[in-house]
Amino acid sequence: MKTYLFALAIFTSLTLQAQDHSHAGAQPFNYPNIEGYQTLKTDLHIHTVFSDGKVWPNIRVQEALRENLDAISLTEHLEYQPHLDDIPHPNRNRSYDIALQEAKDHDLLIIHGSEITRSEPVGHSNAVFIKDANSLLVEKAEKAFSEAKKQNAFVFWNHPAWHAQNPKGNPILSDFQKERIKKGELHGIEVINSVDYAEESLALALEQNLTIMGTSDIHGLIDWDYTEKGKQRPITLVFAKERSIESMQEALFAGRTVAVYNDLLVGKAEFLNPLIRASIEVKSAKYINKTQILEVELENVSSSPLLFQNEMDFSFYSSSPVFEIPAMGSYTLRIKTIAVKQSIDLKLKAIGTFTAPKVSPVIQWSIPVEK
């Protein structure tokens, strides 16, 4: 018996070693508040086995809690239900109900949502903050959108550049979408879906005044699709007046968002610029003894590594004009100011962040120099 138990222990140990993928677990998201608003970390495009996903709704709640998200929405396809033979559910609210129950003792907002799934030119759209998913399951697409409006839903256009729908990979604003926008039935658009950033979608967001969204559209496990690859899921940062479902809904209708995927941040300048500014804290600024070289220690308090390019008249000492401050990390700049200054305006272009297609903002910090 002892020999058997010893052999079993060895086998178990070897098995666990073989399964060790040598990667860190999912890291919690951290992004600072901006003036006047709380920054809510959200993923509003998620699937479970109640449509074409691969996990139970409670797993989605646990993933979100581990990553320090503030809100999620399980947006099951209304019309596309490949698991119905195994998991029959005439009530399309079932996924939401399970997630709500799982989250009841935790600090996570569960947003009631569903995905309206039709072929082109209608495409796929998420309706969130709904009251009843069953009411959206109607034959005519126009009726589904009008019903969502009756429920005061926030509706956004999913993956408009998805190659399976648009082989060229470019979004096509059809007459159907134009009519939905005109009638106040379409309010947002995904510029980041899964691993894809579509700057054409950003152009449409700005042109049509649609809220900018970023989502994971996750079907498998977050660990499988993102963490093991050294990535974090795409999310939407929502700038709300308070941490509540009602305030979040108001913020989305008002367009106060930034879409995030690792080091990629996309949003309107009025929200992206203050977010980047708040993400970088100046820890110290002082001259190296008997020199005119100013040392500025910067700390990135966000979960996104931020890449910057010098936009000042002054150049850097012992550093490239392009540098990165790692997520939740720090970097020391050495600036040749020519003469000793009492203060300095640090001007940096945030490369890899976009307020419009191919347009990266220049952010400025006014820094007093220590004596």
Which secondary-structure segment (H or E) carries 16? helix 2-19
* 347 DSSP β-pair partners: 364
Predicted confidence band at 120 (pLDDT cuts at 50, 70, 90)?
Answer: confident
Give me the domains of the chain, ranges plus CATH numbers. Answer: 25-262 (3.20.20.140), 275-368 (2.60.40.10)
Which secondary-structure segment (H or E) carries 368? strand 362-368
- List the structure tokens of 22: 């040598």
CB-CB neighbours of 243 under 10 Å: 14
The tens digit of pLDDT for each residue in 34-60 reads 999 999 999 999 999 999 999 999 999
Residue 318, pLDDT score: 85
Are 240 and 248 a contacting pair, CB within 8 Å?
A: yes
DSSP 114-178: EEEE--TTT-EEEEES-S-SGGG--SSHHHHHHHHHHTT-EEEE--TT-TTT-TTS-----HHHH
Give the global pTM: 0.92
> What 3-state DSSP class applies to 26?
coil
> What 3-state DSSP class applies to 94?
helix
Distance, in Å, from the CA atom of 197 to the CA atom of 262, rounded to the nearest integer, reads 12
The tens digit of pLDDT for each residue in 160-176 reads 987 767 777 788 899 99
DSSP 183-248: TT---EEEEEETTEE-HHHHHHHHHHTPEEEEE--B-S-HHHHTGGGT----EEEEEESSSSHHHH
The tens digit of pLDDT for each residue in 234-253 reads 999 999 999 999 999 999 99
